[in-house]
Structure 1
Amino acid sequence: MFVVNTSSGIREWTWAAESELPITGGGDYRKDWVHLNDVEYLHDGRIMVDLRNQDKVAFLNRTGIVENWTLGTDDDYDVLREQHNPDYIPASEGGPAVVVADSENDRVVEYQREGGEWTRTWVWSDDEMQWSRDADRLPDGNTLVTDTIGDRVFEVNREGEIVWEVPVDRAYEAERLGTGDESAGGPSAASADLESRRAEPPSGPAEQFEEAVRDAVPIEVQNGLLGYFFPWWMGLYDVLATFALVVAVAVWGGLELRWSSLSLPTRESLDTDSLVSLRSILVLTLVAALGYAAAGVTALL
């Protein structure tokens, strides 16, 4: 990360993460080691940076990382897990505090500076939350949340209730117009006595099955597939149906080939059995296409 004088174009200061962080932590050092996804210049001259792959929010001055101010520890997922877009709340608004989208934990959290340490003072989540990637405390004490795979942007009031919600496909970040950069000016959760909320435990068989699947599949895999690989309209059940369909088609096609001893036919060798097998494969391909179409229509209804 570096600071540039916009008048002269001169780079006045540079901070290299590898000068202070062990390269054995975080992501692959040769590819995406730190994934620094947010930088915020604070009024006291410090710089807050989000080190996603280290599960940390760090504070910098011109000599490097400020000692004993880092929030989170690499792989300590109880605190943070590959978070996004932390916002700093200064002492004038009841801080020092940091509200952050705790992405891989599917929640929004706030930590307050107390006695030289970070203490969790607020947490919000619900049954729909998946891969939260932005949270801003608004001047009235409400919190603006961007839920990426949940495909929504919504606002939570002081009592922890959603006051409005709009569907937005794979949103990354949202700002409330008229509140400044990063929707600044909001109070800390401790000073505003905000109520926390947590997702309800699964009740019915369908919810319990979904919870079991989510527990079995690593959250990074879930978010990677749903966030980048599959179309936006596909949810968990659509992905499971797709995998089941692919497996069924592969097994069925393999059995057809084995039973018929099918080889690529020439015009001279094409017989009735080969035609039947080829027809079966075409039917399976059609079924697969119809499955994708049905999943898409279901999601859009």
Structure 2
Amino acid sequence: MPSPMPVRTLFVSDVHLGTRDCQAELLARLLRRVRPERLYLVGDIVDLIAMRKRAVLPPAQQRLVARLLRLARSGCEIIYIPGNHDAAFRRLCGLKVHRVRIEHRMVHATADGRRLLISHGDEFDTHVRMAPWMMALGDGMHQFVLALNRWCNRGRRLLGMPYWSLAAALKRRSGAAQRYVAQFEQAALHQAAREGLDGYVGGHIHKAGFRARDGVLYCNDGDWVEHCTALMEAPNGHLQLIDWRGEVIAREPAMANGLKSGEAVPDAVGAATRGA
């Protein structure tokens, strides 16, 4: 295997350790291919809510936790920002546990001088206008589709085919899901602008992508249940979305180079999962 690619910063969220849907083996594969100086764990890394009903921690997930701790011991700065599924860890904000720093939110300075707000994103749920019954129905459908996703990929593995997200493919065809994502993005952009920052990085909605508005950049690193993507900062400060193979699937927009206010970057993540 070639030497790991040096990365200034890696952003990972929504791993959901402790559930059957966690793609721990694919994340571990990515961490063998990149060597980050700093790693942000942007919430829902451990799914404490699901583990109250049934805890699932197979060997692949245990190996992933061990790899993360080895990264911390080897000098990689790891910052854990708890989300809504691991909110109990917010009681530990300000502390270090096994060399992992726990914070409620952060402002990250990129190599090219930009300041980005980092949070999980569940604080924006109150800004999303959706009827409670529709939210409950959507959550139930999501769990059903994730179960189908597991069976689909078991079959693909038996046929020697790579991972592909059925859940993500179905979500792209849902108008309600698209409206939810758009409202979430607008709320995150507004918060970053209100604080005088250059952009926002988060997770929570399991939809990786970039969006730019009025000189403010929105970045979502995706998840490790459906899309299996991470956000990477290169040594020059440029931001890119990468998949579990370490391949670039989307680059941040050049906001001063023809991107209109509020214009979304083409869905390169969707294109990548369609082509898998």
Q: Do both proteins adopt the same fold according to a TM-score greater than 0.5, normalized to the shorter chain?
A: no
Higher helix share: 2
**Which is greater in Rg?**
1
Give the TM-score taking structure 1 as reference length: 0.20
